[in-house]
Amino acid sequence: MDLNFNKNEDHNKLLLSELKQKFAKVKLGGGEKRIEKLHAEGKMTARERIDYLLDENAKCIEIGAFVGKKMYAEHGGCPSGGVIVKIGYIKGKQCIVVANDATVKAGAWFPITAKKNLRAQEIAMENRLPIIYLVDSAGVYLPLQDEIFPDKEHFGRIFRNNAQMSSMGITQISAVMGSCVAGGAYLPIMSDEALIVDKTGSIFLAGSYLVKAAIGESIDNETLGGATTHCEISGVTDYKAKDDKDALDKIKNIVDKIGDFDKAGYNRIKAEKPALDEKDIYGILPKARNEQYDMMEIIKRLVDNSEFEGYKDGYGQSLITGYARIDGWAVGIVANQRKVVKTTKGEMQFGGVIYSDSADKATRFIANCNQKKIPLVFVQDVTGFMVGSKSEHGGIIKDGAKMVNAVSNSVVPKFTVIVGNSYGAGNYAMCGKAFDPRLIFAWPSAELAVMGGTQAAKVLAQIEASSLKGKGEIVDEAKEAELFAKIKARYDEQVSPYYAAARLWTDAIIDPLETRTWISMGIEAANHSPIEKKFNLGVIQV
């Protein structure tokens, strides 16, 4: 056992307990008072609604719990982006559920709310998952309308997606469970079927105040757009529910009857637990991100029976590639090796760095997985590609480009777990968010940025010092140290996994012991969506 095992374990468990505390806080959304107000109105909270809707005791994963964290402070914050998204099971069918959190500014949409809703729709589209919207929203968050209204990744895109998803044959069911104002009124009605809760649900393009102001008509909101109006007069909604539970029960009955569609056909056999104790991960993963460790020891604790068939084991060793099973599903794993390796040529290769030979190997492996219809799992602990003259002259750019090409053009589903570093182009080559992983999630130990705080601060401090000198300012050692400290502090905050999760660069921060569930549920979701494109690398960078 590593001498640092206990120290590492303490550290990683502390990170985990911080994660749990932060999650408990975020679960309160807009706060206890707002929750009480909802209950007094006879409404459930967004989380209560989802919990009631999803099958009890079945597995479930939450997308974007930390979205919006520390953002919009001047507007009072936007916990979880004001919308809760979970993938779970309704009557045994895997679905994605999107529920506006009315405790956060009456469920109004901040810019990050749109991003999160679009991510939920993207997951539904990629995996052909039924999507359920539990709507309770005041529409656009008006003070920030210029950041949410007209652009391609803004509010309107949701309705465009509603229409496209419908034509793709993806089931969309909406329940109007509170206000549904203005632009927000289209979302439920562009779904296949819409329910509305009597008395608490309302849906209209303009509320009574605006109607009075615009055309002088005096009318109350219930008569204008309540459940009776829309189920009996306008025909806008399809089912009237007597309360939240009744609406959710009706959704369960609708989902229960959905038929089966073609599957992608990924290989799965009976699941086995890892033979080695998964909890050892806490002791294996070092406290400091620059410390070495053997990534194989982590992999063996994530895969069924701890069995892993290495591909080109002795070649390009700074990346581990090979086949395994997770919860019975066949997977191809591409992972950064984090220990220093000595090649047979006698060269030392740093852990976490991608060299030409490892990029070459990974490209070939990714192609093999595509050829054999095996989902890919990327395990990131990467500081970037090797730099320096030897590497440049050896053509690292074209080898890295080749790997990026293979990752980008893969047609099998990809999953990314960030266990440690995720820096620079290493993030790209190892299937960062820009490369369409079906799910991407981080352990609390993760760090994400274009480069580490110290390196960035060194580079930027040099640039700033030379610019100040150019302006005739004297930059002494103390000034240089001040510049360095200022830049490093900013970068250090930005490398946090919470900073990334707040912006949806990742879907979640999870306990390492949940990794198998995330990958398994992700592949199950992907299996709903047959591969339609042929694998084609185009012009390959040889």
Binding interface with ligand LDTOBESC (CB under 6 A): 76, 105-106, 108, 138-143, 155, 179, 181-184, 207
Give the CA distances from residue 471 to residues 163, 342, 382, 477, in Å, rounded to whole numbers and listed in that order.
57, 48, 38, 17
The DSSP-derived string for 63-75 is: E-TTTTTT-SGGG
> Among all residues, whose Cβ is closest to ligand LDTOBESC?
183
Q: Contact 530/262 with Cβ under 8 angstroms?
A: yes
Q: Which residue, 182 or 460, has its beta carbon nearer to ligand LDTOBESC? A: 182
Q: Contact 110/76 with Cβ under 8 angstroms?
A: no
Shortest reach from residue 180's CB to ligand LDTOBESC, in Å = 9
Taking the C-alpha atoms of residue 39 and residue 35, their distance in angstroms, rounded to an integer, is 6
Contacts of 279 (CB under 8 A, 6+ apart): 513
Shortest reach from residue 44's CB to ligand LDTOBESC, in Å = 14
Q: Which residue, 31 or 328, has its beta carbon nearer to ligand LDTOBESC? A: 31
Residue type present at position 134? L
Contacts of 51 (CB under 8 A, 6+ apart): none
Q: Which two tokens stand for residue 486?
A: 């200022």
Q: Which residue, 78 or 377, has its beta carbon nearer to ligand LDTOBESC? A: 78
Helix (H, G, I), strand (E, B) or coil at 61: strand
Taking the C-alpha atoms of residue 420 and residue 417, their distance in angstroms, rounded to an integer, is 9
Straight-line distance from the first to the last Cα atom of the chain, in angstroms, rounded to the nearest whole number = 42
Q: Which residue, 82 or 352, has its beta carbon nearer to ligand LDTOBESC? A: 82
Taking the C-alpha atoms of residue 258 and residue 275, their distance in angstroms, rounded to an integer, is 38
Shortest reach from residue 30's CB to ligand LDTOBESC, in Å = 8
Bridge partners, 179 (sequence order)? 202
Taking the C-alpha atoms of residue 187 and residue 136, their distance in angstroms, rounded to an integer, is 11
Residue 182 CB coordination number (10 Å): 18
Shortest reach from residue 501's CB to ligand LDTOBESC, in Å = 24
Shortest reach from residue 140's CB to ligand LDTOBESC, in Å = 4
Taking the C-alpha atoms of residue 113 and residue 181, their distance in angstroms, rounded to an integer, is 16
Q: Which two tokens stand for residue 425?
A: 């182009």
Shortest reach from residue 12's CB to ligand LDTOBESC, in Å = 38
Q: Which residue, 72 or 89, has its beta carbon nearer to ligand LDTOBESC? A: 72
Shortest reach from residue 108's CB to ligand LDTOBESC, in Å = 4
Shortest reach from residue 200's CB to ligand LDTOBESC, in Å = 10
Q: Which residue, 76 or 530, has its beta carbon nearer to ligand LDTOBESC? A: 76
Q: Which residue, 28 or 397, has its beta carbon nearer to ligand LDTOBESC? A: 28
Q: Which residue, 183 or 426, has its beta carbon nearer to ligand LDTOBESC? A: 183
Q: Which residue, 76 or 265, has its beta carbon nearer to ligand LDTOBESC? A: 76
Q: Which residue, 106 or 460, has its beta carbon nearer to ligand LDTOBESC? A: 106
Q: Which residue, 224 or 448, has its beta carbon nearer to ligand LDTOBESC? A: 224
Q: Contact 295/309 with Cβ under 8 angstroms?
A: no
Residue of 52, 58, 66, 59 lying closest to 24 (CA atoms): 66
Taking the C-alpha atoms of residue 313 and residue 144, their distance in angstroms, rounded to an integer, is 53
Shortest reach from residue 105's CB to ligand LDTOBESC, in Å = 4
Shortest reach from residue 33's CB to ligand LDTOBESC, in Å = 10
Helix (H, G, I), strand (E, B) or coil at 413: coil
Shortest reach from residue 121's CB to ligand LDTOBESC, in Å = 16
Give the phi and the psi of residue 390 in degrees, each rounded to 5: -60, -45
Shortest reach from residue 141's CB to ligand LDTOBESC, in Å = 4
Residue type present at position 330? A
Contacts of 188 (CB under 8 A, 6+ apart): 133, 135, 174, 175, 176, 180, 194, 203, 237
Give the phi and the psi of residue 377 in degrees, each rounded to 5: -120, 120
Taking the C-alpha atoms of residue 99 and residue 246, their distance in angstroms, rounded to an integer, is 16
Bridge partners, 332 (sequence order)? 323, 376
Q: Which residue, 138 or 525, has its beta carbon nearer to ligand LDTOBESC? A: 138
Residue type present at position 509? I
Shortest reach from residue 129's CB to ligand LDTOBESC, in Å = 25
Q: Which residue, 108 or 523, has its beta carbon nearer to ligand LDTOBESC? A: 108
Helix (H) or strand (E) holding 197: strand 193-197
Shortest reach from residue 358's CB to ligand LDTOBESC, in Å = 48
Q: Which residue, 47 or 300, has its beta carbon nearer to ligand LDTOBESC? A: 47
Helical ranges in 54-204 per DSSP H: 111-127, 156-168, 186-189
